[in-house]
Every structure is written in structure tokens, then in C-alpha cells.
Amino acid sequence: MNVQLATTWKDDLEMAATVSCFKVGESEKFIVLPSHEVRLTNTAEVLFPLIAARKQMFVRGGRIIELVPNDNNEIVLSVLASNAARSRFEKYGHFARWVKHESSGEWALKPVAIMSRDLADALLETEQALACLPKISGLINCPVCVAMSEGESRVIADGYDDATGLFITGGQTPPEVRVADAIRAIMDLLADFDFPSPGDQSRAVASLLTPALKLGGHLRGFVPADVAEADQSQSGKTYRQKIVAALYNERLSLVSCKSGGVGSIDETLDQRLVAGRPFIQFDNFRGKFDSPHLEAFLTCESGFSARVPYRGSIDIDPSRFFIFLTSNGVDLRPDMANRCNLIAIRKRPREFQFRTFPESGGTADALDHLRAQQPYYLGCVFAVVREWLRRGKQRTTETRHDMREWCQTLDWIVTNIFELAPLMDGHQEMQARVSTPALVFLRQICIAAGMTGRLGQSLRAGQLHELCVEGDVEIPGVSADRRLDEEHGRKIIGAKLADIFKRVGGGSDSIAIAGFCVQRSTTSIARTDQKGSYPSHSYLITRDDEKPSVFPTLTQ
């Protein structure tokens, strides 16, 4: 803009020298940059209230951030760098600075085409920036039913909400739904899944409701990670978690298990946290999952430090995120298992007919149907939340989970509103199994026996080694280069199983685990040198579909 502002305030040059904003015409402003007697704070006091009014830049964890689209055209949060700030600031006015004429010695305002990077960086660091800009706590792509006093609630939508710090990036306001209809609709979303036990079904319902309760401030404490465990690939474990995200008009942000182990997942998690989309999924992990970084995040009470590449770190509000993990046999640390909502699922038989829905000419699956009707299903969740509020925000006395507020609240909702099984039925047994490597291995053997047609057969350690090779089951303590060594594998498997049966307690030769039963029988085999005999063990693996499996507590 080819404009020059001479000093128009001839009668009081000293006052004019300290003014940091001039109006030009009816709509344009010149913001005076630090020069002459205009200080950095004077400029910041003018610039940042203008920026704050538009709700496009925010304060998060002591850093200035902005809303930007990512590669999937989703709105995410990004730390504002000084280079980018120079062009962003231009949206809020033109810039000028005081310049002293060499000949006359008088001061005049001159337009500034491009702000320096150092100045932009200095403005971002001012107290005025942190004080004027609104504080943002998280993003969500749908309206939120927010808690109020006396059991009341309100729905927030469309943009930034001052009270919660949430930014609603999209979504339609849901309709009012009758509670009975809401219950049927929510249960219908899970109708195609084969849950091994009623407790698994209850926990799946709880997973659908948890984001609404937490985002709305109805739950103040921690919420667990949703861990989906399946007996086989293509069982629907990832699909179920996609349904949870789709219910809130969101998609899962992926953290994948990269080659070489899990060493890079912490860095990827930090990137997802900084971006701000609330549903984060660790997909298809197998074997040992060891991330103290994630464990700390799940029980962090305030700001969680997430590293921003090349920009230091930023404090993240952990209450605005929901963690998901899928596995066909994950080995968790005990502390991680205590932070999880474990939900088992079984693969449907090949002949099972999954439902189709009217969308896409009658070929839509449940996920497509949910996305097409998302406002209605969100209204169903809000109806359940309001019913819980109406009935006094009650909780049970359930103590079988470390996250008591979440556990007792959702236990009351699933047992009293949905009339389902208690939330924690069978959960402690799953926690013991997924956090005990030997039991993770035993479960994998059982699954492999089912997939290879060896259920009901008497199998010795050598045959179990063959089964592990055929079923791609990793044998703990056997390196990749010795995987096919039958003699070595047989000894390791025999020792592992002997230890499991020894530690079960009570001298039992039968173990129930994840819907299977493993029975051990012992025979005496005469030694070839005719000097006595030695015990030989064989194992019979069968499936128990009549009742949920219960695994006895292991003795240490």
C-alpha cells in the first residue's frame, strides 16, 4: 500500500510520537511498530486485542498457536512461528514506524512493508499476547453437552467457547431423542460385534459414552485408554473404535508401530497431541508395548509436556484427548493395564451376514450409516447423559478399576439405564492376562490351535512349537534366527508352560483363558537306559463358549 503518513498532529508532536495506532479511512488501521517513543508493549496492546476478537489465534500451554488445515483438510492446532507470524499479523492492519528526517529532524510515520522476524518473535513473547488472546483447551468436531449447576446442561456449538476453552470445528446441533429410542440406537451400533462376555459389551457401551461425559465436564477425573483385543485379524477391533470416533464426527489420528519396535511412538504421540484432534489410535500393536510416556499422559493431572520438533515443547491439556489401542495379543506393563478399558472381541464366522443400511443405495455398512446420521446418534448420547443428570448423577460402589470416578459412573449408567452387565465383570482377569507375558503367549497358542484345526487334539511341546511356527506366534526367549530350531523351541515352550501351571495355584492341571481351556496331562516315559522314567506332558486345548472365561490370580 503506497501510503505515507506525515505527522498530522502538529500541535502536540510528543503525544503523537507515543500513539501506536492510527485510523486511515473508515476501515483500515496503521499499527505503529516500536520506534521513537512507541515501545514494544504499546504495539502489543493494540495488535493482540484485534487478533483476539477474531478467535483464530490462541494461547495454549504458554505458547501462541493458530488454527490451520492439515493434509486431510481437518482443522488442527499449530504453534505459530515468527516467520509465519509476520504474514498472519498483516491480516489485522497495516504497519508503520516513526522515522526521523535527516534534514529537518522532524519525525514522520512511514509504512512498513514487511515486519522483521525478530520483531515478530518479540511480539509473540510479550505479556500482552498471553493476556489478550483466548486460551484454548482442545478441539472437537461436534457440539458438546456441557455440565451446569443443579444437574442442568447446555449444548455448545459453532466455534470457540469461552467457558470451556473448546473450539467446535464443525458438526450439526443434534435433535432431542427419547431415552428409550436412544438406548436402542446406541445398542444397535454394536449389534454386529461378537463380544465374548457381557462385561465386554458393557465396556464397549461405556467407550461410546465416555467422550461426551469427559468433554462436557461431567467427569473430572481420568478416563482410561480403550484397548481392543481380538482373537484374529479382521475381527472388527479397529472398526469398533472408528465407530466411537465417528459418533463425535471425528476420525482417528493414527500412531502406527514402526519397524524396529515402539521406540518412535512417543514422538508421534507428541505430534498428535500438538495437532489437537482428540481421538488418537495406536493401531495393531503386537508383542511388548512399553511406553512410560503414554502411561504418564493417561494420569497427568494438568499440563503434559509434548515436544514440538525444532520448537521446544508445549504443555497440553490431557483431559481433551482419548487414547485407543488395538491388538491381537499385546503385552502391557501392569501400570499400563491399570490405565485401560479392555474390550475383547471375536471374529465372526465366514458365513455371518453383516447388516447393510439405506445409504449408498442400500450397501452402506454401520460406519457409513453412522457418519450419514451422526447428529441423530450424538443426540442419543446426549439423551443418555441428560437422563443420568436427571436421576441425580449417581455412581455405584464399584472398586475394580483404578480410575474410580469413570468406573463407578459408567457402571451405574450401563447397569441402570442400559440394564447391562456390571462394567468390570471379567476385567481384572483380562488385566492380569495382558500384563503377564507368559499368559499372552498361552493365549496366542490357543488362538493358533483354533485357526489351524488343532483344538481337541493332544499336543506335546514339539507339536506346539510346530503350531507356533505355522501360526506365526512369537515364542518368548526365542530369537528370530532360532525360530525354526525345533529342539530349542520345544524346550522353551515346555519350560514356559511348566511355569504357568506351577504358578496358577491349587495344583490345577486346567487353565481357563480368554474363552479357551488348556488341560495338561502327564504320563511317565521309560528312559532308554532303563534307569527309571521321566514325566512327559501333553496339552489339550478346547474352546469354552458357554460362559466368560475366568483366570485364577497367579501366585508370585
Question: Would 77 be classed as within a structural domain?
Answer: yes
Residue 407 sits in the same domain as residue 451: no
Question: Would 165 be classed as within a structural domain?
Answer: no
Question: Would 170 be classed as within a structural domain?
Answer: no
Range of the domain at 192: 179-426
* pLDDT tens sequence for the chain (556 residues): 333 343 333 333 334 444 555 554 444 568 899 998 889 999 999 999 999 999 999 999 999 999 999 988 899 999 999 999 999 999 988 899 999 888 888 888 888 988 999 999 999 999 999 999 999 999 999 999 998 877 788 999 999 999 999 999 999 999 999 999 999 999 999 999 999 999 999 999 999 999 999 999 999 999 999 999 988 878 889 999 999 999 999 999 999 766 444 447 899 999 999 999 999 999 888 778 888 999 999 999 888 999 877 777 899 999 999 999 998 777 898 999 999 999 999 988 888 889 999 998 889 999 999 999 999 999 999 999 999 999 999 999 999 999 999 999 999 999 999 999 999 999 998 998 888 888 889 999 999 998 888 999 999 989 999 999 988 888 888 887 887 888 888 899 998 898 888 876 566 888 888 888 999 998 887 777 777 777 888 999 998 753 334 444 444 3
Residue 276 sits in the same domain as residue 314: yes
Residue 372 sits in the same domain as residue 408: yes
Q: Which three cell numbers mark 203? A: 465396556
Question: Would 551 be classed as within a structural domain?
Answer: no
Residue 286 sits in the same domain as residue 234: yes
Spatial neighbors of 447 by CB under 8 A, at least 6 apart, are: 231, 232, 328, 329, 471, 516
pTM (predicted TM-score): 0.86
Residue that finishes a domain, picked among 426, 445, 471: 426
Residue that finishes a domain, picked among 369, 395, 426: 426
Residue 272 sits in the same domain as residue 386: yes
Question: Would 234 be classed as within a structural domain?
Answer: yes
Residue that finishes a domain, picked among 364, 391, 426: 426
What is the C-alpha separation between 453 and 447, in angstroms, rounded?
A: 10
Question: Would 548 be classed as within a structural domain?
Answer: no
- Amino acid code (one letter) for 385: V
Residue 531 sits in the same domain as residue 508: yes
In the numeric block, the cell 443434534 is attached to 174
Residue 319 sits in a domain whose CATH number is 3.40.50.300
Residue 74 sits in the same domain as residue 43: yes
Q: Give which of 188, 184, 157, 189 is closest to 171, Cα–Cα.
A: 157
- For the chain, how many structural domains are there in total? 3
Residue 322 sits in the same domain as residue 347: yes
Residue 225 vs residues 21, 211, 240, 268, 541: alpha-carbon distances, Å:
50, 11, 14, 17, 31
Question: Would 60 be classed as within a structural domain?
Answer: yes
Residue 99 sits in the same domain as residue 237: no
Question: Would 145 be classed as within a structural domain?
Answer: no
Q: What is the 3-state secondary structure (H, E, C) of 400-464?
A: CCCCHHHHHHHHHHHHHHCCCCCCCCCHHHHHHHHCCHHHHHHHHHHHHHHHCCCCCCEECHHHH
Residue 355 sits in the same domain as residue 218: yes
Residue 407 sits in the same domain as residue 465: no
Residue 447 sits in the same domain as residue 351: no
